[in-house]
Amino acid sequence: MTTSSETKKLVAVTGASTGIGAATARELAHRGFHVLAGVRRDRDADTIRAAGVEPVILDITEPEHVEALAERITADPRPLHALINNAGIQVNGPVESLPMDRWRWVFEVNLFGHVAITQALLPALLASKGRVINISSIGGKVAMATYGAYAGAKFALEAVSDSLRREVEPLGVHVIVVEPGGVRTEIANRGVATANDLAAGMTAEQEGRYGDMVRATNALMATGTEAGVSAEVAARVLAKVVTARKPRTRYAIGKPAAVITRLTRVLSDRTLDRVLAANLRRQQPAAAVPAHSG
């Protein structure tokens, strides 16, 4: 799979400590790229370091980290072929009860951090006519109950991607959105744990309004993760996006993502509401499902 041209190219991957980011870094190194793998801790750097994978300490919300990566790339004679904006967090809770500091942090990591690193690396990508690959989610197409903050940031990332594509594709830079469905990664498991912790902080009134919904959503999230594709399968899709001569503007990872993306195009909002509500009721205990007469 390795070609002589690919061994002369860099790829930067954010959020490469675990999951999709780590698997993608290894897959691209196997294909001959030199991968700058963004990790937040020294122990994660030690874990991922390998032939073709160079770990860099990178918190995308820290300007000095972003600047250091840009300087590292500028000093390298090899062109930057792609930036993969993969770093992210998952924080779920009802709009009413999710604290504002959590809202801001979700957008800081899942949107503004990506914008910051894209701004910093665009000069190198324009010079190489490379590509920006933004990892969105099916949450960037449909916002389920309790997904307001997470989906809000992903919807915004999709919009930014569209705008950026229309700005830089005439200059030779491809902008691609990748929308994973269920993927068996630590971020999903951490998302469930965080959602449960946040639910414990709801007031009694909020618990009465949203408690069953939150528990059902968390169960659905856990089930979707367990049934999802592996990080390695997702990495192979991303490698295809990196190497495609004429990449599409969007790619889905996993059958659920492809199906839900299609449904959002053909169903009305009310119909989609009913589909999602029915799916959620399957996760609720029988006692929590209202009885219907007649």
Render 224-240 in DSSP notation, one character per residue: HHHTSB-HHHHHHHHHH
By DSSP bridging, strand 250-253 and strand 53-57 are unpaired
Q: Which two tokens stand for residue 259?
A: 């199906």
Question: Where are the alpha helices (H) located in 37-99, listed in sequence order?
Answer: 42-48, 63-74
If we measure between CA atoms, which residue out of 17, 18, 19 comes closest to residue 234?
19
Residue with tokens 């990506």: 114
Catalytic residue numbers read 150
Query: Residue 108, class by beta-carbon neighbours within 10 Å (0-12 exposed, 13-18 middle, 19+ buried)?
Result: middle
In 112-249 the beta strands, taken as DSSP E runs, fall at: 131-135, 174-180
Find out whether 118 and 175 touch, Cβ atoms under 8 Å.
no
